[in-house]
Amino acid sequence: MAKQVLAELLRFIAANEELPRTLARYKGWDRDTLGKFLAAAADRIEEAEAAQAPASGGKSGAMKVRKASEVEKAARASAEELEAAMNESKAEREQKKKARAAAAAEERERAATEAAAPPPCTRLFTDGAARGNPGPAGAGAVIVNPAGHIVAKVGKFLGESTNNVAEYMGLILGLKRARAMGIKELEVLADSELLVRQLDGTYAVKAEHLAPLHAEAKALLAAFPQVSVRHIPREQNAAADEMSNRAIDERL
């Protein structure tokens, strides 16, 4: 009878007890899962008893003492395994909880950034190229709508000229096309730092031949109700660069 007490006790608890204190300690576990753990522990105890069953002819008194010891060991092992499994699961749950919280915070930050950012507007990419500087030169511009679709491409062959002149001509060419299309809000993007810095006043226009081009570009920019000019890396300006070189190759 004593050999079966532990297993029977565990099975009784698994089937009948509500285990409120256990559920309070191990939050996230439900009653059915705890019952399954207890039933599994009972199975382990019975398996240990079966493995230590006495051979025929043995002394019953000695065997009873040894079997009781093995059963206790099995019970302790099952309890330790149960505790370890529940603690490990708790750690995993905490880790997942932290990951979910971090993801939620990141999503909130992203949403706040998007809400604070201005709505997308039409973008004008401009560029100019001169092979030899001075040499055969071309100006190019590409207009992209707020949805990201190219709505206009323009290019013009300039004959013999310099890179800086070609850069200004690409800008002027693009601004005239954008104005003709009735665009009101415009973001201008160019890979010429000299052009951008002269337009925002950081650099002075020292070359006399650039002064009238600078003045014309400023006047065209002022005609837009909302406009900005930003410098971008050359690799982000491939479409306008292609148009300026195409203008040279095809004498547009």
Identify which has the larger pLDDT, 38 or 149. Answer: 149
- Distance (Å, whole) CA 186 – CA 191: 17
Domain 122-250 top-level CATH class:
alpha beta
Structural contact between residues 185 and 122, judged by C-beta atoms closer than 8 angstroms: yes
Q: Is the pLDDT of residue 69 over 80?
A: no
Confidence of residue 38 (pLDDT cuts 50, 70, 90): confident
pLDDT of residue 216: 98
The segment(s) of the chain belonging to CATH 3.30.420.10 are 122-250
Percent of the chain with pLDDT over 70: 80
Of 9-23, 55-69, 168-182, highest mean pLDDT = 168-182
Cα-based torsion angle of the residue sequence 96, 101, 106, 109 in order, rounded to the nearest 10 degrees: 170
Q: Report pLDDT digits (tens) over 224-234.
A: 999 999 999 99
Sign, CA dihedral 161-162-164-167, equals: positive
